[in-house]
Structure 1
């Protein structure tokens, strides 16, 4: 298929998905999202889970083991994993299947406006009610559940992870430049200037994937007014010209002026950005605990291992959020399709969600529940255990990743403009003007 034909096909599919979804409210069937214990016989069959997770990751590995154990007592049962790790491709597939009412029994989704529309149409099982009925609700970390909630507080996704995002740093590099770890976000530009003066790359950034830079956009507003600003932004009740948006734009512009990120950051991928830090070429690296295996074990280069440490999101003067409140995501959630929810699906979930925490924690990962202890690997450094312990101390407010909050068009434009802003190709005023125009267009679309 030629590029032109493929583009037309993709646009047509996306348009059809949007049209079908917007026209099927109230016509998705008579399934009750709150009927979490349907009557009937448990008849084993294949059920499917539409996923957007690494095929060799801990979540899939754990669930495959659990499904195999369930099948031993339920001959004829199997769990079919439909895996699409590439997120843009996954979203297109997910939304197209949703429009055609062909979603499988289980499917991955963030708490996006699209997902909330599905829930409002009665097409997703009420997970709050399901977990309560299974007597599992109190087992979950509040932050893990809250990350999955819609703006109105309702819960329709099950978390399978719990992560904490830190600023990892090389203490030897900071010391050589006479730099202390930043106490506030406003200390970052000077830290970068001092490191640059010693010929050290201040911060390693995966600019190619764009979401890491978007994290930085979220930090200042979160410290100024908590998670409310981005909710107001996406609902049309705030603008980028508001104090939070302006402060973020000016802070990022100043990070760029101070040379905080490596040259050519916009074309640097995930692995190369991490390598800059782990090889001792960059002083700071902002990433989550999903990288504990590479940053807090003996896998890390001995030349830098003893110098690596981390700090959490710095605060600002007069911050509205506490020091123990930062980015603590529980990953993409799993929704349950009401149209195919039957005694078998319910019974499998009852089995799987009870078994999952122990199986998952045994891999060295942080469970979304507090009912089991993470197995610390034999080759772990002190940082591994400290990070795991810190998971029990996080606060209530979550710095939500903006790429899971904003509509796709606004989010894409934001990522593009952020790169230009940090590169110094546009000013904060130009950034704000462009983004507010985009926001207005898409909120009225």
Structure 2
């Protein structure tokens, strides 16, 4: 997904004003008795985000191929909204009883969880079981969804991603660098790249989340796989010394200049281009970037020169290097009120065909099984797929269990953390206060 999240998943930031308005809208949404979406749908409406082209492209391909019959009965109709306005749009539609048949889930799981509790989001474990296609989901993707959505299968995994650090193998070879296994080695590698005139990391400070994921990465390695769960359940605070220490480690990367100039104004696409054009040696990102890497027009360094490594170990830490952060991108929820027979036929076709189509056409990995064998486009895609298959325990990301407000505060202040205008202590205090005030 070009942005992602969250999607996000690559979660994307929304403004504080929008977040505050969202609280009011959600209250009306959960109390609404609107009937706009209760009638049988006239089309297979899908609300996506402008930044995501992968999912709608795959659905369009299915509508013209494997799911032609379903599309004839219930035509696919795609609408988009900028990701920064997604939460507000969903809550407005929910309050009007006008949610589309399927829609990109909110930037924070908290929104979808509340819509699920209010009966507006379909229980997909029940629906897919009735359709006989529950087994078409990858168990790892189901586990990740349940961890995000309070044990419920509230969304479909149109993407399934693990996260780590992509690196430029050619640059590493030219400067005699080996793949770092520990945090100290990673910092040393970044320093050598910088000394050689190469920007060590590409990152989007404008999005914020590519930076905060470095914080959670350090926390999972230092404190173990339950580090962020302890914040969510209140047994620990972000202001505790060991949590502030993680923010300080990431802030230090910025202090050393490892993110280059003007990181706060760098958007997602620019950061991606910096890496794919050979201007940065490393890029923390999710496996959704494989579609960009496979695109020769975007990737001028060549797929053969892109490697992938896990977030490094922290000396004396309780976490393991093979515990990969995972997400389901910006997943898709379905309106419970419009989940009729025709919708069910569409969903059944998607479950059986989406995995193969997305991998074949775009090189993207979903949480659906690949029923038609597809050769890997390149070595790094093969490596990531094998890593996913072998993964035994995955973790989430920094904001995964935060409220919408805390997610916004975290991502909107990430750039100031690495540029030094906000101290690690202040950054963690701001996010902790936002989380406590949910």
Shorter-normalised TM range: 0.7 to 0.9
Q: Distance in 2 between matches of 1:55 and 1:303?
A: 24
Worse overlay, 44-53 or 116-125: 44-53
Q: CA 1:366 to 1:424, structure 2 compared with 1: closer, same or farther past 3 Å?
A: same
Match of 2:308 in 1: 310
Q: CA 1:229 to 1:176, structure 2 compared with 1: closer, same or farther past 3 Å?
A: same
SS in 2 for 1:395: coil
Q: 1:19 aligns with which of 27, 46, 59?
A: 27
Worse overlay, 96-105 or 415-424: 415-424
The residue correspondences of 1:2-401 to structure 2 (distance < 5 A) are 14=22, 16-21=24-29, 23=31, 45-52=42-49, 54=51, 56-57=53-54, 59-68=55-64, 70=67, 72=69, 76-84=73-81, 86-110=82-106, 112-149=109-146, 150-296=148-294, 299=297, 306-363=304-361, 364-372=363-371, 375-376=374-375, 380-398=377-395, 400-401=396-397
Q: How big is the shift at 1:243?
A: 4.7
Worse overlay, 153-162 or 222-231: 222-231
Conservation of the 8 A alpha-carbon contact between 1:164 and 1:329:
yes
Q: How big is the shift at 1:97?
A: 0.9
Structure 1, residues 284-316: CA drift from partner, whole Å, max 9, x if none?
A: 112233232443565576666654322122122
Conservation of the 8 A alpha-carbon contact between 1:220 and 1:244:
no
Conservation of the 8 A alpha-carbon contact between 1:124 and 1:338:
yes
Q: CA 1:131 to 1:325, structure 2 compared with 1: closer, same or farther past 3 Å?
A: farther
Conservation of the 8 A alpha-carbon contact between 1:376 and 1:384:
no
Q: Report how many aligned residue pairs link the two structures.
A: 418
Q: Distance in 1 between matches of 2:63 and 2:295?
A: 30
Which structure: larger Rg? Answer: 1
Match of 1:418 in 2: 414
Q: Distance in 2 between matches of 1:130 and 1:78?
A: 20
Conservation of the 8 A alpha-carbon contact between 1:190 and 1:258:
no
Q: Distance in 2 between matches of 1:429 and 1:344?
A: 53
Q: How big is the shift at 1:434?
A: 3.4
Q: Distance in 2 between matches of 1:383 and 1:152?
A: 33
Q: Distance in 1 between matches of 2:149 and 2:328?
A: 16
Q: Distance in 2 between matches of 1:323 and 1:94?
A: 37
Q: Distance in 2 between matches of 1:12 and 1:294?
A: 35
Conservation of the 8 A alpha-carbon contact between 2:70 and 2:346:
no
Q: How big is the shift at 1:184?
A: 1.6
SS in 1 for 2:94: helix
Q: Distance in 2 between matches of 1:288 and 1:390?
A: 13
Q: Distance in 1 between matches of 2:434 and 2:19?
A: 20
User: 5+ unaligned residues in a row in structure 2: which ranges?
Assistant: 1-14
Conservation of the 8 A alpha-carbon contact between 2:293 and 2:299:
no
Q: How big is the shift at 1:376?
A: 3.8
Q: Distance in 2 between matches of 1:340 and 1:306?
A: 46
SS in 2 for 1:167: strand
Q: How big is the shift at 1:163?
A: 2.2
Q: How big is the shift at 1:432?
A: 3.1
Q: Distance in 2 between matches of 1:271 and 1:296?
A: 15
User: 5+ unaligned residues in a row in structure 1: which ranges?
Assistant: 1-6, 32-42
Structure 1, residues 384-419: CA drift from partner, whole Å, max 9, x if none?
A: 333333331223322x23344322322222223332
Q: How big is the shift at 1:206?
A: 1.8
Q: How big is the shift at 1:247?
A: 2.7
Q: CA 1:151 to 1:365, structure 2 compared with 1: closer, same or farther past 3 Å?
A: closer
Q: How big is the shift at 1:61?
A: 2.3
Conservation of the 8 A alpha-carbon contact between 1:357 and 1:369:
yes
Conservation of the 8 A alpha-carbon contact between 2:220 and 2:319:
yes
Q: How big is the shift at 1:251?
A: 1.1
Structure 1, residues 330-378: CA drift from partner, whole Å, max 9, x if none?
A: 222222222222222223322332232232232132232334356347x
